[in-house]
A and B are shown apart, each in its own frame.
Chain A
Amino acid sequence: MKRIIPVFLLLVFWSGLQPARAELTIEITSGTEGALPIAVVPFAWNGPGTPPEDVAEIVAADLARSGQFAPLPRADMLSRPARPEDIRYRDWRAVGVDNLVIGRIVPREGGGYTVEFRLFDVFRGRQLTGYSFPTSGERLRETAHRVADIVYETLTGERGAFRTWIAYVTVTGSGDERRYSLQVADSDGYNPRTVLRSRQPLMSPSWSPDARRLAYVSFEQETAEVYVQELATGQRRKVASYQGINGAPSWSPDGRQLALTLSQDGNAEIYILSLDSGRLRRLTRHPAIDTEPAWAPDGRSLVFTSDRGGSPQLYRLAVDGGRPERLTFEGGYNASADFAPDGERLALLHRDGRGNYRVAVQDLERGMLTLVSEGRLDESPSFAPNGRMILYATEAGGRGVLAAASVDGRVGQRLRLQEGEVREPAWSPFLE
């Protein structure tokens, strides 16, 4: 069964900054069956007027998007405690929630806020965890994501990935009026920031392991070039500008090398570029298209796309060289590999028997392929840093939107731009 729940469509205001409209809106498109019932009570506000952010709403929306939690609607809450002594556990047992989050936001002298929260086990009637975070107005949403991460980790035993970023490319206009923009937003699509704008295509954003830099492809000189840009300063460096293709950058886990595709010798081949020395090392030698390298988390091998067998399929190659080993055999098109953080699974783009391009997950040990998406023209899968969700690009209403799905395909959601297209999502590593 499919249902569409508009989770939020809010106006975001940064204190001290101009009002910024959320450019991506999220709707949950499928499934919350089997999700853990939880209540996130609106946080008490100990300041004048209305609170600057609805922290509890951000936490609840994060938990809902994971597909692993079903937050209780506020209208169903029998009470709204702000302190532990105000909790009447039977109220919460009566509405069937297992866990309860309460909290408050306190303005600090000299500016900023303190966000306090506590997580309770409703049936045992005891606190599981609780934290107090000093924060600024601009970082209140980030603090809310941090709260959601702690709740998530406490209850599931796995690290939360809400306080992370996504990079993506937007396209507006058509023909000569087409404009490309590389953006970075919070994992829920809020707080979008422009990294680069261009009249020429921008492609293939790739996060450095420390999440401070992006590598990407820009056609701004009317030829493909690979740049590395520092996000905090906007400073960037052209790292590859050879004749032909300069594409598909992928960072080594130590952040010192980029695997990429060059066709300087007349054919698309995989190279490794040392960012310190600028030295290039060619890895593949084959008249086929070899492209889209993805570095394994242990840094010892790469998976790439090649049509050397007659159709695009994924191959694995040791970084030291050797013979590539074919990994995919199901169907006539498997491409765009992205490693799960544990290195044991790949997200990939798979063409099914009906010609639909869909995101799938392949278990590397067993070779089993599981379809995750349901679109016709899906592409660019990217794992969340905790490996639980996959972000990808899809088409809805004739234009490009982003979608996220849980790895088991059970929950799905869409991130839509008000106008234009959004594509090529890349989920950041954990932010330290």
Chain B
Amino acid sequence: MHKKFLLIAAMLFAIVISAISGTVTSQSAEVNIYSARKESLIKPLLDQFSAETGIKTNLITASADKLLTRMINEGRNTPADILITVDAGRLFRARQADIFQPIKSQKIEQLVPSNLRDPENYWIGLSQRARVIFYVKDRVNPAQLSTYENLADQQWKHRICIRGSDNIYNQSLVASLIAANGKAATQQWANALVGNMARPPQGGDRDQIKAAAAGQCDIAIANTYYFARMLENKKDPSQSEAAQKMAIFWPNQQGRGAHVNISGAGISKYSRNLDNAHKLLEFLVSPAAQSWYANANYEYPVNPSVKPGGLIASWGTFKADAIDLSKLGELNAEAVKTMDRAGWK
């Protein structure tokens, strides 16, 4: 009995060991990616890149904070060539932690506008994501809407749905308000906004849009691509029905513009596949890849030569906040504290 048991244990162990060694053997033409973009939102592009160049891509996905922790601790032996995040704050932090090196590519400098990359090219944006106001067409007159600041107004008492303060998109939004209006004014704004919430914050961005459409609130704050994915959802008609009750409102168009964050990437200071890493980033900002972001995930391209089509085009153009994105990273902790003090769950 026990011999059989030991035999099975030994066999399993052998299989696992071989699995380990299988995954670490390196090939020459490859590039290793730590990605905070989810597998389904990056793998298709990587596969396309491999097909075009013959360069193999190796991927790990997890949240940016944890990948950053892993990369920092792995130090000069890190296998990562590229770190992809879904917000600028994390890219800023990675640069602060001294794990990036400047990206040297004229092609990228030509394709990506300078406000969407680090001043010294330690990181670049890959796609833009606008966080805006959605209102219920039946119950809200868009003339009453104007700015993020205006959401603190008494008229919106118990009418706003927004997700929790743990979420990085909200943290960045509040950081952008602190950058624009200062700490004290933003604290007042956050206090008032919490009073205007229709329910304690919960769920994700889509949940806010759904709750508004179902009548729980009149205003929802969300990223535009969630709204687009709901509208285009063929499998679950209830999602597109809900989204159709809502309309998009671009805030702060008379002032600094709507809050925009980026998903972006930087190259590891210790990259061993430097050429391939540059090739991949060049590919990711090329027109072909950029239109994939726009068409498959409804994000805004960073490459201005690529015009989003279809649904996104129908929303028209808007003015985006041109804030230095590093600021969002710098002010992130202050934003979290502000929300804590306001009682934003």
- A and B assemble together: no
> Interface of B with A (CB < 8 Å)?
none
